[in-house]
A and B are shown apart, each in its own frame.
Chain A
Amino acid sequence: MKIQLQHLTKKYPNRNKKEGGDIIAVNDFNFTIPDGKLIGLLGPSGCGKSTTLNMICGLETPTSGRIFFGEDDVTDLPPENRGVGMVFQSYALYPHLTVRQNITFPLENLKGKDKLTKEVMNEKALEAAKLVQIDQLMDRKPGELSGGQQQRVAIARALVKRPRVLLLDEPLSNLDARLRLQTREEIRRIQKETGITTVFVTHDQEEAMSISDEIVVMSAGVLQQIGKPQEVYDDPINLFVAKFLGTPAINVFDAAVKDGRLYIGDEPVLETPGVEDQDVYAGIRPEGLTLTEDGPFSMKLIRVEVMGRDTSLICLSPFAQADTVRVIVPSDSILDPEAVSVRFTVKPAKIDLFRKDTEERIRL
């Protein structure tokens, strides 16, 4: 089911009466989620991503704008009539009911001609439980399950009615690191198997990038960029997106363009033909620098961290915004560990320039 958001806006009255006015949680959202895809809504906390999810779900009504599922306008429909399944961050399992009862709960609420017999309900519950591999735990209570198992029950409950849209709010945040990796692959597998259009919310960019077909980056209620994870990573439209995506984070330098060259300090590091002379931010990905003996860009070397697969160089530059600069080089790079200063060349594809005033990307 294709989901379309048109000029979606959500305002809350300001709790602080002195300031007055409204707080805009989501500001004029327009985007289309293609049918059968897994979409990650990504942004720092408080950016409005959960509000957006709740509006798609129907738990919150938009102040203005419309929501379409396929051709149907669902903006004014309550959640139960939208055909959505939702997995809450806290899982929200009913603690007094068994796994089976939790999964059949949505089915028991069906009325009139949709009403199911007990056998059909149990059959459907078992089918959903098998999909998330918890069919052995049907008679347990949620309190007797691990976090990962509870998560699966929550997904099974959301899927049992065969929703048109599956929504997940921070699905991995309550799991430990190892389980997180496993569960996100699981979510991907379930989504592929069912083909249900799925939207999930996360503040963890790695999580979003690893399993999403497309990511939607948000900041302060404003949509920043939509695209395939790699595209957004390689081609950020502004400094916020560039900084938000990627671990380790992008290194940002105060730099200047002069006579078609990019200068960091007084070192000309890159040819930038066609760019007006101006002060800029230069964002260089950790993997965007190559050790070169007579390279144009030099930094002070503080520490070398050997990771096995590659090596991290922790460097110092007076022009960097952060305290240290992290550079990742292949582990077979030739480096004198005693060196005080190292020189690099810049990979043109891994450096982005941003305007100082608007922080918009400057296209090269």
Chain B
Amino acid sequence: MDKPNRKAWLYLLPALVFLGIFMVYPLFDVLIYSVEEGYNSASQTFFGVGLYNYSYVLRDPYFLQALKNTFILVIITVPLSTGIALLISLGLNSITKFKELFQTIFFLPYVTNTLAVGLVFMILFKKTPYSDGFINLLIHFFGGSTVDFIDGPYWAKMFVMSFYTVWVVLPFKILILTSALASVDKDLYKAAKVDGASRGRIFRKITLPMISPMIFYLIITGFIGAFKAYADEVAIFGTNLNAAGMNTIVGFVYDMLYGDSGGYPSYASAAALILFAIVLTITVINLLVSRRTVTYS
């Protein structure tokens, strides 16, 4: 090894050591756990090696429910939150009065604690012996029949969950998109105006391509974040997500490790790796699609 190369490795060493201990080693450990059948964490024993843990997890109705919940959440919230964030950012970008005020308001959820916000949502939506919750009062006022959003039908719970998720992820997306919009060269808009492009065409042909790297970034991180959803569900539906029918994949992993029915690191590991495979697949698909649609200048 020549000298500059050795030097380079030396500089990389601290990062490599920490990544190795806290990222690579656990990853392999999880992989090993996931193929050890009947692993007992107390006695550190197992019967054999195979894919039984995976087949168990994939047949577990709680896991399938969690998988379904997670997918619904992802499919609803990622496009919706990105779209709404784009609309709001375009609005923020075109106003001049009170711009800072609105930016601050839209950014507030980002600096607010998840559990506190979850509590607020619960109060808004929950039916108690004393009150039907604010949203139900509204529905009632407009002549609808009230719904129990927290302990009621599945679609109602999923609605609250999606609503909450979109609302929580919006501020960050708005922040990114407003700065992306602001960084588009104003001369391009002037040139397009002189060239006679309509507003719609300017948006499609100039604005969108110019901010496409940022939109792509938000979609990828949005997918990853939504697949890893867990804390928000706990904030609204409590810790027993299986009973509420609102568990997610990460929630399932947690339950398998530490929950009331927990103590199965092998099942947890298998579920975690299934999630990993899903996220990896989606990200690769995203990357492939982006090659054709995203323009980096």
Contact = CB atoms under 8 A, between A and B. Distances in A.
Contacts of A89: 187
B210 interface: yes
Contact of A96 (B191, B195, B198, B297): B297
Interface range, A side: 20 to 34
B20 to A, nearest CB: 39
B297 A157 contact: no
A88 interface: yes
B193 interface: yes
Interface string A133-152: 00000000001000000000
Contacts of A106: 194-196
Interface in B264-297: 295, 297
Interface in B116-169: none
B51 interface: no
Contact of B209 (A58, A59, A96, A105): A96
A195 B185 CA distance: 31
B27 interface: no
Contacts of B244: none
A275 B250 CA distance: 96
B16 interface: no
Contacts of A109: 195-198, 201
B220 interface: no
Interface stretch (A34-42, A79-87, A201-209, A325-333): A79-87
A94 interface: yes
Given A109-B201, A143-B297, A92 B187 contact: yes
A127 to B, nearest CB: 17
A21 interface: no
Interface string B169-186: 000000000000000010
A96 B185 contact: no
Contacts of B205: 94, 105
Main secondary structure of the interface of A (DSSP, over half): loop
B206 interface: yes
Nearest to B208: A96
A86 B191 CA distance: 7
Interface range, B side: 10 to 19
Interface in A231-258: none
B297 A95 contact: yes
Contacts of A59: 190, 193-194
A80 B297 contact: no
A321 interface: no
A157 B194 CA distance: 11
Given A88-B187, A94-B188, A95-B297, A105 B194 contact: no
A90 interface: yes
B210 A96 contact: yes
A267 B193 CA distance: 61
Contacts of A335: none
Contacts of A79: 193-194, 196
Interface string A68-104: 0000000000111000111011101011100000000
B191 A92 contact: yes
Interface string A146-165: 00000000000100000000
Contact of A78 (B192, B193, B210, B295): B193
A110 interface: yes
A92 B191 CA distance: 6
A351 interface: no
A84 B191 CA distance: 11
B200 to A, nearest CB: 11
Contact of B194 (A84, A94, A96): A84
A80 B185 contact: no
A89 B192 CA distance: 15
Given A86-B194, A96-B210, A106-B195, 9 more contacts: A84-B194, A86-B190, A88-B190, A94-B191, A94-B192, A95-B210, A105-B192, A109-B195, A109-B196
Interface of A: 57-59, 78-80, 84-86, 88-90, 92, 94-96, 105-106, 109-110, 143, 157
